[in-house]
Amino acid sequence: MASPSPVPSVALSVHDSPWSRELTADGRVYFYNRATGASQWHIPNELYKSKHFDKDKRRAFAEDLAKMPGSARAVLGVDCVTEVAGGKSSPIVDGLRSSIFAKLAQGPKPAGEEPSEPVIPPQPTFQISIVSARGLRDTDFMPGKDKSDPYCCFEIVGKNEAGFKTPVISDCLDPVWNHTQIVPSYSIGDVVILTVRDFDESPLAEQNAELMGDTDLFKSGDTLLGRVMLSEDDLDVEADGVQEFRLEECGKGIKAYISVHARMLTAWPEFKGKLLSDVVFEIERACPDFNVVVFEMPDKGSTVVSWDVDHVKHGYSGNFFGVYKEATAKLREDDKLCVGGKEFTVSAIAGPETPDPANPDKMIVYLYVKEDIDGFVMDGTPWNKVTPKPEEGFHGNRVCVVFDPLTKQVVDIPRVG
């Protein structure tokens, strides 16, 4: 196994940890010691147990170290392989090398011995889906032409940090949001408030509110369409289906309702925003019998662009089209693309890099695909990377982890299911 690119050792104070966890371009994990130059590959112990529980094999493997620096520490209960930096000789490195062989000679750790760092277990975490509303009143000033543009606000009494809003649904009195969000700060006994409002982006919204005598509107700029306060007894987190509640303060003679689905998940809220390799490592330590499944976050997509008049006018044929360079950072060869509803496979990304005439700060490159384009791909055609999605349904032994392919950070709370 090839080692990661060498990194120069640095001087550290006695208070600094010399170890850092790194990720190679092909997704493998290793640990690098900045003081000694040693590295540790994250490799399943099962690959090395047979080698180290057999004394003859262990001795032969130790002799291999002279040719290829590397000694398996599976026998010590560490899920990695240690590689001593080649070509270095110092008291620190020699001591590390001696320590490794001394521990190998001691045999495996006693069964049941606790790890040096505490395991981070999952915890019950609240999730709510704002599904839909019906029967909302029309607050627009020209009835029959436009309708309300409703959205829903979620909040917990006394916990401002827990609030969120659904997207706005334009011209609709029976909106369907299907907006799901995890709320880590929710605790048993909290009171939830759901408020439905009509979005108004007009700069005259507050003036209109004052003229109409709606004090609630005057404060927010958006007309109140209804509100409901829900206690722990109202939100049945054990229910499989959707619950519907009648809204209050929704207008004289108006009967409006909102539908939600609340449940408690088993999750790791503190792992959101952490490095993917760290998160997978910790979840596997905490739940070794679970299947950790990793998914890229869904691609928001981009559009086909051109810098030359011919492609702007006639579009692209053959096996390439123009795209913004920044949109290709997440792409690798053989990735699947959806371009205007058709599927293609990434072949290569090539120059020349040319500024977009309409936006000189953005560079245009050519994205080549393995299939021939049937017809033409025109400027403005939407495209996105096709990313696998979790299998539908609840799986009691599965942990889903969603990450950003560029930053390698976890973008959603990992959870069982």
Q: Are residues 243 and 155 in the same domain?
A: yes
Taking alpha carbons only, the member of 129, 255, 258 closest to residue 196 is 258
pLDDT digits (tens, 9 = 90+) for 231-243: 988 988 887 789 9
pLDDT band of residue 188 (cuts 50, 70, 90) is confident
Cα 131 from Cα 20, distance rounded (Å): 43
Name the band, by pLDDT with cuts 50, 70 and 90, for residue 393: confident
Look up residue 410 and give its two tokens: 């976890």
pLDDT tens column, 278-316: 999 999 999 999 999 999 999 999 999 999 889 999 999
Question: 347: pLDDT confidence band, cut at 50, 70 and 90?
Answer: very high
Q: What pLDDT, on the 0 to 100 scale, is given for residue 164? A: 93
DSSP characters for 318-358?
A: EEEEEEEGGGGTT--TT-EEEETTEEEEEEEEEEEEEEETT
Does residue 391 fall inside a structural domain?
no
89 HSE (CA, 13 A, CB side): 1
Same domain, 287 and 307: no
The model carries a pTM of 0.60
- Residue 44 pLDDT > 50: no
In this structure, the answer to whether residues 132 and 227 fall within a common structural domain is yes
Q: Which residue has the higher pLDDT, 359 or 111?
A: 359
What is the band of 250 on the pLDDT scale with cuts at 50, 70, 90? confident
Number of domains making up the chain: 4
Paired strand residues for 152:
196
253 and 214 in a single domain? The answer is: yes
> What DSSP line would sit under 252-298, residue for residue?
TT---EEEEEEEEEEE-GGGTTSBHHHHHHHHHHH-TTSEEEEEEPP
Q: Are 248 and 263 in contact (CB under 8 A)?
A: no
Q: What is the pLDDT of residues 17-30, one digit of tens each?
A: 566 667 776 666 66
**How high is the pLDDT of residue 146?**
75
Quickly state the pLDDT bin for 87 (edges 50, 70, 90): very low
Residues 263 and 143 in one domain: yes
State whether 256 and 184 are in the same domain. Answer: yes
Cβ partners under 8 Å of residue 16, min gap 6: none
Q: Are 224 and 282 found together in one domain?
A: no
> Collapsing DSSP states into helix, strand and coil, what is residue 18?
coil
Longest dimension (CA), the chain: 91
Residues 310 and 358 placed together within one structural domain of the fold = yes
13 falls within a domain: no
How much is the pLDDT for 103?
53
* 192 and 102 housed in the same domain: no
Same domain, 77 and 160: no
Q: What SS3 class is residue 312? A: helix
Q: For residue 81, is it within any domain?
A: yes
Look at residue 62 in the predicted model and tell me its pLDDT: 44
Q: What is the CATH number of the domain that holds 406?
A: 3.30.10.10
Is 1 inside any structural domain? no
Boundaries of domain holding 332 = 302-385
Per cent of the chain over pLDDT 90 is 50
Write out pLDDT tens, residues 111-148: 555 546 789 999 999 999 999 999 999 876 555 567 88
Domain boundary among 106, 141, 176: 106
Is residue 317 over pLDDT 80?
yes
